[in-house]
Amino acid sequence: MSVASPAARPVLISGSWKDAAVESTFQATDPNRNAKLDPVFPVSGWSDCDAALDAAVEAAKELRRLPTARIATFLETYADKIDAAKDSLVEAAFAETGLARSPRLADVELPRTSNQLRAAAAACRSGSWSMPTIDTAAGIRSCFVPLGPVCVFGPNNFPFAFGSVSGGDFAAAIAAGNPVIGKANSSHPETTRLFAELAAEAIAETGLPAATVQLIYRTSHADGERLVSDPRVGATGYTGSRSAGLKLKAAADKAGKPIYLELSSVNPVVITPGSLAERGEAIVNDFVTSVLMGAGQFCTNPGMVMLVAGEETDRFIAAVKDRFASSAAGTLLSPAVASSLGKSVETLVGFGASLLTGGGDAETDRCAMANTLMSVDGKTFLTNPEGFQTEAFGNASLMVVADDLTQLCEAIGHLEGNLTGCIYSANDGSEESDVDAIAFELEPKVGRLLNDKMPTGVAVSAAMNHGGPYPATGHPGFTAVGIPGSLVRFGKLTSFDNVRPSRLPVWLRDAAPTEGTYRLIDGKWRTGDV
Amino acid sequence: MSVASPAARPVLISGSWKDAAVESTFQATDPNRNAKLDPVFPVSGWSDCDAALDAAVEAAKELRRLPTARIATFLETYADKIDAAKDSLVEAAFAETGLARSPRLADVELPRTSNQLRAAAAACRSGSWSMPTIDTAAGIRSCFVPLGPVCVFGPNNFPFAFGSVSGGDFAAAIAAGNPVIGKANSSHPETTRLFAELAAEAIAETGLPAATVQLIYRTSHADGERLVSDPRVGATGYTGSRSAGLKLKAAADKAGKPIYLELSSVNPVVITPGSLAERGEAIVNDFVTSVLMGAGQFCTNPGMVMLVAGEETDRFIAAVKDRFASSAAGTLLSPAVASSLGKSVETLVGFGASLLTGGGDAETDRCAMANTLMSVDGKTFLTNPEGFQTEAFGNASLMVVADDLTQLCEAIGHLEGNLTGCIYSANDGSEESDVDAIAFELEPKVGRLLNDKMPTGVAVSAAMNHGGPYPATGHPGFTAVGIPGSLVRFGKLTSFDNVRPSRLPVWLRDAAPTEGTYRLIDGKWRTGDV
């Protein structure tokens, strides 16, 4: 049924760029011009997935036999190549995503990406991520071991830092010892292809199995569901839309395959009257900067602000409205994002939100929409809390204005799971009991609770949780960002019971694996020999 | 539709024993006599679940406000009450399960149960299980916090140690700070009721929320699925049959609710020719003791032995056959277990396994079946590897005899996920390369790899993994036994980003929460203040 098309870019299978089993083709759009880009990419048939899976299984076996330090060296070599190829990566991503070359792509996202790979390499070397646990009295030792081939579906909004073959899920899966099958995001296939070329070079230089990193661009939905549920797969990492993610989740769940999802999130920001009275202008500035940065296309974009009615709140909303109206609309990632944003705004207005500013197209040839601010009172919100949590991905936000603290807390109690939740409150200590009530409702709904700070920065820290309760993600116990936490998702917990010393994984032997490896030895976390 | 029935035992909702919303009733069977026991138990309608869920939500809120030490004190008080009530608990369980009063129930399972609750209390006090992680430079701190009400479905085979309101899932969920709604196993409802009475007493004495422990006995399948997927639930722990577990999994997955399952497992034991030549008699003894203990009704019962054809293997099988034929058949837990065991044996024989001994009813009034040994050659196994992995829960085992090491490894490569896998090999070092090949295939299939030891003992150790790849469980990263690991399942990972010091959970404050609390502080696991 499928034929090789010389016009379509090849896929990377088992270390070779091969003609894809082309079912159809697609092109990315340059959102700066709202026009299609030249390169043609294949929609792969199942035979490409099948070949990648077979090769990944063999690579997984080879990786299990290699010293972990070799995998770390690959990650470091790859990171260096990414830094060296900065200009071409930035140009490709700018053309495909419209994100600013600088500072965003060149000075923020690219260094974050290569440094994340280096941090993953360090975690890989130390092995502490695998939580080696030793009970000498019982003769039992355990750690996480590689789970098997990992499929990574990257999102549209971070072509580098969350890219299928360069980003957080990729780094975590490889550092945990698994090969990756990357499924490029269709909005930036050329950028992803450039990364895969660098990865393939680094693989060749460091002697890793050729199929450690493979790349396909797109499949039918049915083949995507088949891929994540295939017996040969260890797990899947997915970042993207809720609707597509939940279809993959259903398929993977049915097959008993772990799938780690990062889906939608409105990231509520609660701003108290006391904080506005104290430092309203600064908060306006914090908020507008955060919500309009990158045209609001962040997983942690503050899409909902929760306030209590009053003069300070009126002033805050008026000031934000002015800033929205007077700020240039950012470029959206694709026509699909623009169309989806427009529909979400329509939906919210249809439910009864007031349109304060924006709501229509921006006057530009770029993919863009006017900065959009909406509001709804608490009582109306409570008539349809699920509806008012419709994510408007992009440069839009909804102000929810409650009558009082009680109604505010009731509204928070109706929130779905979110990646983040913020509380801005008075610095003078006068609102502590209010904040306690707010935080008590908000904390169970979010993966990360912030104070006096907008949620858009996601530090690569051991203490970072980029996760949260469903439907923000598929499981409340895992983070997609932060090392070593993100690696654990791609490990299989394994006990070695009475296993002869010479047969133990290096992490569980009496001798300390590395100087810096922390192990839980007879109830104490420590470095050193058993 | 449902009416209160004075004949049926009441359910424990919100601290009170109340008439159930009885949809129908059931009685347990005494497998020693194969006759129904007198007490009548309700099959609850949804209104009982609904009331329990409402009460659990309130209890979860109250628990979040209490010092953790109070929860630990409850667990310890409850453990003491269990020890004090040993005689009545043992009598009830003997009548309902047929498990030996001594040593099994009184001297092994009961102390294990109360000590497990004490270990959970210690974990709860120290808080190390919540993996407090502090990044002072980034101003971010994270830990696991209570997830919300936990439903526990206990299995038939451990009325104490895995009981819905006394066992491992229960202890882990409570120690992590969550209330539990226990669903008694229908084969030992009276035993479970006695535990719930003790728990309710301990709750009253220690001042925990009344709904911290609730008990229902049984629901319709539809209500069970509704329960595990209800928005008010945090997570579910289930141990039992694969078919019922997968139905609950589908419902919970669809709702985005974590469900931790322990399902079927054949627990392959690989026994090499060298080990048999060296110490064949001892291995026969190890195996027969393990497989027939408790009539083979352990999750980790060695239901499959994998061997290489040869004289030693013939002698091993012949000796096992003799021991099976000459050993008294143990009592099975219920007529349902006996019937299911008979059907599984029929299925395996239908696929082409040879029946070496047993296969029919034991000559007794007890629920029992003759000790059953089957065998199949490697070639036949490979024609239907999934079929030959049909679990025969009880006193039965299948010998798989491969032609050679290559075929043995191929057969192992076709194994499904299992809780355990064992390798017996020569002590003289002559088989290390064979063992390497075997372990390389076996380790990815199991949660716990053993050497020279049968799998039936499951120590409560920090290094224990009582888990494994699907379909042994629902996720390869979690253990149902072992503290602190088992607690993590019932926590929500939460970052506190720039949160004001006075608002942080006690585990994340600068001051050390307890002397023994380990925290990952700026990259180092240690006790003490920040």
Residue matched to tokens 């008026």: A318
Cβ neighbours, 10 Å, residue A235? 27
Look at chain B and count its residues: 530
User: For residue A325, how many C-alpha atoms fall within 13 Å in the half-sphere facing its CB?
Assistant: 10
Reported as a single tens digit per residue, the pLDDT across B189-210 is 999 999 999 999 999 999 999 9
Contact A255, B253 (CB under 8 A): no
Measured between beta carbons, the chain B residues lying within 8 angstroms of A500 are 451-452
Pick from B138, B453, B494: CB nearest A443: B494
Reported as a single tens digit per residue, the pLDDT across B478-514 is 999 989 999 999 999 999 999 999 999 999 999 999 9
Nearest to A206 by CA among A83, A72, A82: A72
Contact A524, B472 (CB under 8 A): no
Measured between beta carbons, the chain B residues lying within 8 angstroms of A471 are 256
B254 contacts A250? CB cut-off 8 A = yes
Residue B242 main-chain phi, psi, to 5 deg: -65, -40
Contact B10, B17 (CB under 8 A): yes
Closest-approach residue (CA) in chain A for B522: A462
Q: Could you tell me the pTM of the whole model?
A: 0.97
pLDDT of amino acid B363? 84
Spatial separation of the C-alpha atoms in residues A490 and A172, rounded to whole Å: 7
**Maximum alpha-carbon separation in chain B:** 72
B138 contacts A470? CB cut-off 8 A = no
- Return all residues near B324 (Cβ < 8 A) that are at least 6 apart: B288, B292, B356, B357, B358, B371, B372, B373
Contact B385, B336 (CB under 8 A): no
Whether the upstream peptide bond of residue A302 has omega within 30° of 0, thus cis, is no
- Catalytic entry in A109, A190, A262, A431: A262
Query: Which pLDDT tens digits describe chain A residue by residue (530 residues)?
Result: 444 445 899 999 999 999 999 999 999 999 999 999 999 999 999 999 999 999 999 999 999 999 999 999 999 999 999 999 999 999 999 999 999 999 999 999 999 999 999 999 999 999 999 999 999 999 999 999 999 999 999 999 999 999 999 999 999 999 999 999 999 999 999 999 999 999 999 999 999 999 999 999 999 999 999 999 999 999 999 999 999 999 999 999 999 999 999 998 999 999 999 999 999 999 999 999 999 999 999 999 999 999 999 999 999 999 999 999 999 999 999 999 999 999 999 999 999 999 999 998 888 889 999 999 999 999 999 999 999 999 999 999 999 999 999 999 999 999 999 999 999 999 999 999 999 999 999 999 999 999 999 999 888 899 999 999 999 999 999 999 989 999 999 999 999 999 999 999 999 999 999 999 999 999 999 999 99
Closest-approach residue (CA) in chain A for B252: A253
Measured between beta carbons, the chain B residues lying within 8 angstroms of A496 are 448-449
Closest-approach residue (CA) in chain A for B443: A494
Cβ neighbours, 10 Å, residue A522? 15
Tell me if chain B has a CB within 8 Å of the CB of A433: no
In Å, how far is B158's CA from the nearest CA of chain A? 22
Contacts 24+ apart (CB under 8 A), B220-224: B220/B23, B220/B43, B221/B247, B223/B44, B223/B45, B223/B46, B223/B49, B224/B153, B224/B183, B224/B248
Spatial separation of the C-alpha atoms in residues A143 and A174, rounded to whole Å: 17
Q: Which helix (H) or strand (E) is A424 found in, with range?
A: strand A418-424
CA distances from A59 to A204, A238, A243, B328 (A): 13, 22, 32, 50
pLDDT of amino acid A363? 84
Q: Is B492 exposed, middle or buried (0-12, 13-18, 19+ CB in 10 A)?
A: buried
- Return all residues near B285 (Cβ < 8 A) that are at least 6 apart: none
B497 contacts A448? CB cut-off 8 A = yes
Measured between beta carbons, the chain B residues lying within 8 angstroms of A439 are 503
**How high does pLDDT run on average in chain B?**
96
Nearest to B71 by CA among B217, B206, B218: B206
Tell me if chain B has a CB within 8 Å of the CB of A62: no
Residue A389 main-chain phi, psi, to 5 deg: -95, 10
Residues β-bridged to residue B269: B305, B422
Q: What angle do CA A140, A142, A143 make, to 5 degrees?
A: 165
Residue type, B287: F
Pick from A257, A432, A447: CB nearest B494: A447
Whether the upstream peptide bond of residue B471 has omega within 30° of 0, thus cis, is yes
pLDDT of amino acid B7? 85
B440 contacts A144? CB cut-off 8 A = no
Closest-approach residue (CA) in chain B for A433: B503
Residue matched to tokens 């050497």: B451
Measured between beta carbons, the chain B residues lying within 8 angstroms of A420 are 497
Burial A501-519 (b: 16+ CB within 10 A, else e): eebbbebbbeebbeeebbb
Contact A48, A17 (CB under 8 A): no
Contact B81, B198 (CB under 8 A): yes
Residue B86 token pair? 């040993």
**Any idea what DSSP says for residue B161?**
T
Q: What angle do CA A477, A448, A179 make, to 5 degrees?
A: 45
Residue matched to tokens 């390869």: B476
B500 contacts A492? CB cut-off 8 A = no
- Return all residues near A363 (Cβ < 8 A) that are at least 6 apart: none
Spatial separation of the C-alpha atoms in residues A517 and A128, rounded to whole Å: 5
Tell me if chain B has a CB within 8 Å of the CB of A148: yes
Tell me if chain A has a CB within 8 Å of the CB of B512: no
Closest-approach residue (CA) in chain B for A451: B499
Spatial separation of the C-alpha atoms in residues A271 and A308, rounded to whole Å: 8
Whether the upstream peptide bond of residue A146 has omega within 30° of 0, thus cis, is no
Share of chain B above pLDDT 90, in %: 96
Pick from A461, A474, A503: CB nearest B135: A461
Is residue A109 annotated as part of the catalytic site, yes or no?
no
Pick from B135, B144, B435: CB nearest A463: B135
- Catalytic entry in B23, B225, B262, B391: B262
pLDDT of amino acid B148? 98
Spatial separation of the C-alpha atoms in residues B62 and B127, rounded to whole Å: 18
Measured between beta carbons, the chain A residues lying within 8 angstroms of B449 are 494-497, 499
Tell me chain B's radius of gyration from C-alpha atoms.
24
Tell me if chain B has a CB within 8 Å of the CB of A133: yes
Reported as a single tens digit per residue, the pLDDT across B394-448 is 999 999 999 999 999 999 999 999 999 999 999 999 999 999 999 999 999 999 9
B477 contacts A491? CB cut-off 8 A = yes
Tell me if chain B has a CB within 8 Å of the CB of A467: yes
Closest-approach residue (CA) in chain A for B490: A477
B450 contacts A499? CB cut-off 8 A = yes
Confidence of residue B2 (pLDDT cuts 50, 70, 90): very low
- Return all residues near A243 (Cβ < 8 A) that are at least 6 apart: none
Measured between beta carbons, the chain A residues lying within 8 angstroms of B142 are 463-465
In Å, how far is B38's CA from the nearest CA of chain A? 41
Q: What is the dihedral of CA A72, A74, A76, A79, to 10 degrees?
A: -140
Contact A460, B137 (CB under 8 A): no
- Catalytic entry in A143, A299, A409, A422: A299
Closest-approach residue (CA) in chain B for A523: B462
CA distances from A117 to A75, A191, A483, B217 (A): 6, 17, 10, 51
A250 contacts B494? CB cut-off 8 A = no
Q: What is the dihedral of CA B403, B405, B409, B411, to 10 degrees?
A: 10
In Å, how far is A266's CA from the nearest CA of chain B? 17
All domains of chain B in start order, with CATH: 58-263+479-486 (3.40.605.10), 268-451 (3.40.309.10)
Nearest to A37 by CA among A20, A22, A21, A25: A25
Closest-approach residue (CA) in chain B for A519: B525
pLDDT of amino acid B441? 98
Reported as a single tens digit per residue, the pLDDT across B41-90 is 999 999 999 999 999 999 999 999 999 999 999 999 999 999 999 999 99
For chains A and B, count residue pairs whose Cβ atoms are closer than 8 Å. Answer: 194
Cβ neighbours, 10 Å, residue B311? 10
Give alpha helix (H) positions in A355-497: 378-383, 405-413, 432-442, 485-488
Confidence of residue B361 (pLDDT cuts 50, 70, 90): confident
Spatial separation of the C-alpha atoms in residues B509 and A42, rounded to whole Å: 53
Tell me if chain A has a CB within 8 Å of the CB of B504: no
pLDDT of amino acid A2? 45
Cβ neighbours, 10 Å, residue A293? 18
Tell me if chain B has a CB within 8 Å of the CB of A311: no
Spatial separation of the C-alpha atoms in residues A235 and B460, rounded to whole Å: 28
Residue B317 token pair? 């099988």
B488 contacts A258? CB cut-off 8 A = no
Confidence of residue B6 (pLDDT cuts 50, 70, 90): low
Cβ neighbours, 10 Å, residue B488? 18
In Å, how far is B88's CA from the nearest CA of chain A? 31
Measured between beta carbons, the chain B residues lying within 8 angstroms of A498 are 450-453
In Å, how far is B498's CA from the nearest CA of chain A? 5
Measured between beta carbons, the chain A residues lying within 8 angstroms of B526 are 525
Closest-approach residue (CA) in chain A for B481: A495
A254 contacts B449? CB cut-off 8 A = no
A 401-430 near B (Cβ less than 8 A): 417, 420
State yes or no: ipTM above 0.95.
yes
Give alpha helix (H) positions in B107-159: 110-126
Pick from B133, B439, B524: CB nearest A463: B133
Is residue B262 annotated as part of the catalytic site, yes or no?
yes
Nearest to A75 by CA among A17, A115, A16: A115
End-to-end CA gap in chain A: 59
Cβ neighbours, 10 Å, residue A236? 29
Tell me if chain A has a CB within 8 Å of the CB of B491: yes
Contact B19, B33 (CB under 8 A): no
